[in-house]
Amino acid sequence: MSVGGPRGERMHIKQLLELLGFLALVQGVAGLVHEFTDVHWGLVQRIGFLDGYELYASVALVVLAIALFAAAESRRSG
């Protein structure tokens, strides 16, 4: 059975939005953990132009993740 057509494309877009949301959430939480603990993990603190703004970037990533999850949820399957 083929997955093509409008419904198949919606599923791919929904999965892509969910994946991007998950990655943004993980990196945002990792940045927040890095700011408030001594754990050095994640990409936010390694990006040079964000020096001094890591906390804001991490919060922005968490908000972006919530928006991506909401957009994925609005894409109904069926």
Q: Identify residue 48 by its one-letter amino acid code.
A: G
Q: Rounded to 10 degrees, what is the CA torsion of 34, 39, 45, 51?
A: 70
- The answer to whether residues 78 and 7 touch, using CB atoms and an 8 Å cutoff, is yes
Domain span at residue 63 reads 5-74
Distance (Å, rounded) from C-alpha 24 to C-alpha 76?
22
Residue 40: the pLDDT is: 86
* Alpha helices (runs of H) in 5-53, residue ranges in sequence order: 5-36
Query: What is the count of structural domains for the chain?
Result: 1
Residue 31: the pLDDT is: 95
Residue 1: the pLDDT is: 43
The one-digit pLDDT tens for each residue of the chain (78 residues) are: 445 555 556 678 999 999 999 999 999 999 999 999 988 888 998 999 999 999 999 999 999 999 999 999 987 655
Residue 68: the pLDDT is: 96
Q: Global pTM? A: 0.82
